[in-house]
Amino acid sequence: MQGEGIRIIVPSSLKNLSLIRALVKTYLIAESVSEKDILRLLTVIDELATNAIEHGYNYHSGEISIFMIKEGNFVKITVEDFGAGFNRLKESKSEGGMGLNIVRGLVDNLEIKPKKIGTKFEILKEVEEETK
């Protein structure tokens, strides 16, 4: 299955975080990602999806798009919202940006791509394979 990506689109609501986690976990298990790396990536997804709900949509309705693909020893995940967009000044304040600092500590690369409408977060994480 390696090399085949998957995209999920979920309504932006805190109650959907468990659904997002379950879908992401199912994909990562199917791609034989180690349990340790699955836990790290689920933390990353929680942070980025929560960021989209809280800051992108300010808890209003919208959609979160998540694309995942495993290529070799790397998993690439894109989390995208179509809300208010990313404010770097707010993110740099001491009260803001904690979630993104957590994400940066768990992945090999984080790119934040503000768009005209919304924000795209791209992460790259080297992963180990689950031994069976």
pLDDT at residue 4, as a whole number: 80
Greater confidence (62 vs 95) lies with: 62
pLDDT at residue 104, as a whole number: 94
Residue 94 — very low, low, confident or very high, per pLDDT cuts 50/70/90? very low
∠ CA 79-25-32, nearest 5°, is: 110
Domains and CATH numbers, the chain: 6-126 (3.30.565.10)
Q: Which residue has the tokens 């803001």?
A: 96
Handedness of CA 16, 80, 97, 34 (dihedral sign): positive
DSSP state of 33: B
* Number of H-type helices and E-type strands within the chain: 4, 5
The string of pLDDT tens digits covering residues 31-69 is 999 999 999 999 999 999 999 999 888 889 999 999 999
Q: At what angle do helices 35-51 and 98-106 cross, to 10 degrees?
A: 150
pLDDT at residue 85, as a whole number: 74
Q: What rounded mean pLDDT belongs to the chain?
A: 89
The string of pLDDT tens digits covering residues 6-37 is 999 999 999 999 999 999 999 999 999 999 99
pLDDT at residue 131, as a whole number: 80
pLDDT at residue 84, as a whole number: 82
pLDDT at residue 34, as a whole number: 98
